[in-house]
Amino acid sequence: MTDQHKKGEGGTSVEVLVVGAGPTGLLLAGELERRGISCHLIDARRAPLNWDRATVIHPRSLQIFESMGLADRFLAAGCRQRLIKIHSDGEQLGMMDLVSCGSVYGFNVGLSEEVTENILTDYLRAQGGEVNRSSRLIGLAQEEEGILAEIERDGSRYQMKAQWVVGCDGVHSVTREQFGIAMSGEEKAKLWAVFDVTMRPWRDTYEGTFVYLDTPPVIMTALPKERWRVYLRPSSEDSDLIADARGTLKPYLPDSSFVDVENPNRFHCHTKVATRFRAGPVFLAGDAAHVCSPTEGHGMNRGIQDAFNLAWKLALVCRGADPALLDSYEIERKPAAEMVIESGNRFEKNLTMTDPVERANRNQAIRETLAEEKTRHHEIVAETELNVEYSGSGIVFGDQCDVFAAGSRISDLIEVKTLARGRCRLVELTQRVGHTLLLVAGKGPDGEELAKLHAAVGEIAAENELFEAAFSFGLELDPDTDIGEIGRAELALLGVDGITVFAVRPDGYVGLRADKDHVQALKRYRSVILQGTREAVSAA
């Protein structure tokens, strides 16, 4: 038993109780501990998973892992899935190459979920946290100053007080049930199934995902060591899964065989979203808040993004920011979940069509979509989860811009040059536990004006607990003022002509874009984040 758990049994209060140690709960707890927030993470399982069916890690999640210093571990452990090839009725309908997604991570990564959990568990421990296993949430009671949780461990019960509780405990979330939060959506009538396999021979790329819209439908995603995870809709509740998959694949791979089949099992699929992601001091994240079809592989990734969004906000509130900041969690994350649910439902419908006319129309629509560059790019950006933005959130604001407005995610392709680092990607400067200020100057301002504003922005960052660091960039590197260099092409990507100040949030999104009145805009943004969302935005 860990020391942390012993303190919990004694009734010690913690700032945040996290329920569920899947990828969402592990990342949330790790990021809270990284920010110095006392966190107690419980999980009902006695031991980590030995195998789990989730496998795809999307580029947006890789960006998050990079900011945590973990991207290299995931890239080393997994395999790249760069291409997605879609087939039906014996032919290839089209292909997507994720290299054009708009990120340095122009690929998905194939990695079984238990490995993801192992990496995130190591990260949590490196921050000083731990998973308290065999610990099941029994009840939650709201008190005047937070929550009283009752937890059962190995037949005995203990209580723990927490200011905040985050339920990351899956589709059957006890946390959600305790606070009477409903889920809207449906349970799919037909089962899904999955197994791992080696294909012999295999003459195509191992950096791919292969989709077969036949009967039964089959999806193959690449795993390390030239293995495949095969998802399919079984022909019946007791059918031979291997025979089902072989029947679909035979027209495409007539001489290939399945070798070393492992982990065959069936599972139910839900497509649901919680009606609320927050009830007072209680939050829902990951599968506790939303569950989607496995067809597009977004479930685990959306939970990772939930955790990354919530962690920095909870940390600020625990340190004294107005709790109104936390209203933005549902405002930002629920639409992202609903978007994936809708997309998954459409794809499920495409997968299960049996009418010949409907199938022919579907096939033609897919051909046309993937043949045209603009529509293909739209599908690629959605697949890689780089289409999520927060422009409708109450805590982002500023001057309008078509290419890089507040609520946009900062691109990881933009390069700059600084005295300290030399040439680097802009995002490398913003990967922090706090906000980062970026002052970017185009062709308009003279050197004196830029230097003056550079000094003013630096002073704001130094005296303000919200902003961790500040960097300034112009067309030339200036050793005297420590102003870095940015190219004209990068300025165009940012939509900067004169002088623009960006406040980049810890999750990599732009909270503020100010093309004028820069200092006053920064002060207003600080009020929005630290002193209360509605009042500050209204005053701004």
Sketch the domain layout of the chain as residue ranges: 3-55+112-184+271-351, 80-109+189-268+353-387, 397-539
CATH of domain 3-55+112-184+271-351: 3.50.50.60
pTM: 0.95
Judged on CB neighbours under 10 Å (0-12, 13-18, 19+), 406 is buried
Count Cβ neighbours within 10 Å for each residue of 446-465 and write b for 16 or more, e otherwise: eeeebbebbebbbebbeebe
Per-residue pLDDT averaged across 127-144, rounded? 96
Q: Please provide the distance, in angstroms rounded to a whole number, between the alpha carbons at the two ends of the chain.
A: 51
Average pLDDT for 101-108: 98
Look up the CATH number of domain 397-539: 3.40.30.20
| DSSP per residue, 503-523 | EE-TTSBEEEEESSSHHHHHH
> What are the phi and psi torsion angles at 432 (to 5°)?
-140, 170
C-alpha distances in angstroms, 434 versus 285, 316, 417, 468, 535?
Answer: 22, 9, 22, 5, 22
Confidence of residue 506 (pLDDT cuts 50, 70, 90): very high
Q: What is the pLDDT of residue 445?
A: 65
Please state, in angstroms and rounded to a whole number, the distance separating the CA atoms of residues 387 and 404.
13
Q: Are 515 and 402 in contact (CB under 8 A)?
A: no
Average pLDDT, the chain: 92
Cis peptide before 59 (omega within 30 of 0): no
Name the CATH superfamily, with its identifier, for domain 80-109+189-268+353-387. D-Amino Acid Oxidase, subunit A, domain 2 (3.30.9.10)
Identical fold at 3-55+112-184+271-351 and 397-539?
no
120, 63, 231, 46: CA torsion to nearest 10: 10
Q: What is the pLDDT of residue 296?
A: 76
Q: Tell me the sheet residues that pair with 422.
A: 418
pLDDT tens digits along 348-373: 888 888 999 999 999 999 999 999 99
| Cα angle 440, 441, 442; round to 5 | 125
* Per-residue model confidence as pLDDT tens digits over 268-314: 888 899 999 999 999 999 999 999 888 777 889 999 999 999 999 99
**Phi, psi angle pair for 27, to nearest 5°:** -65, -40
361: left (phi over 0), alpha (psi -120 to 50) or beta: alpha
Q: Could you give the angle at the alpha carbon of 26 between the alpha carbons of 227 and 291, nearest 5°?
A: 70
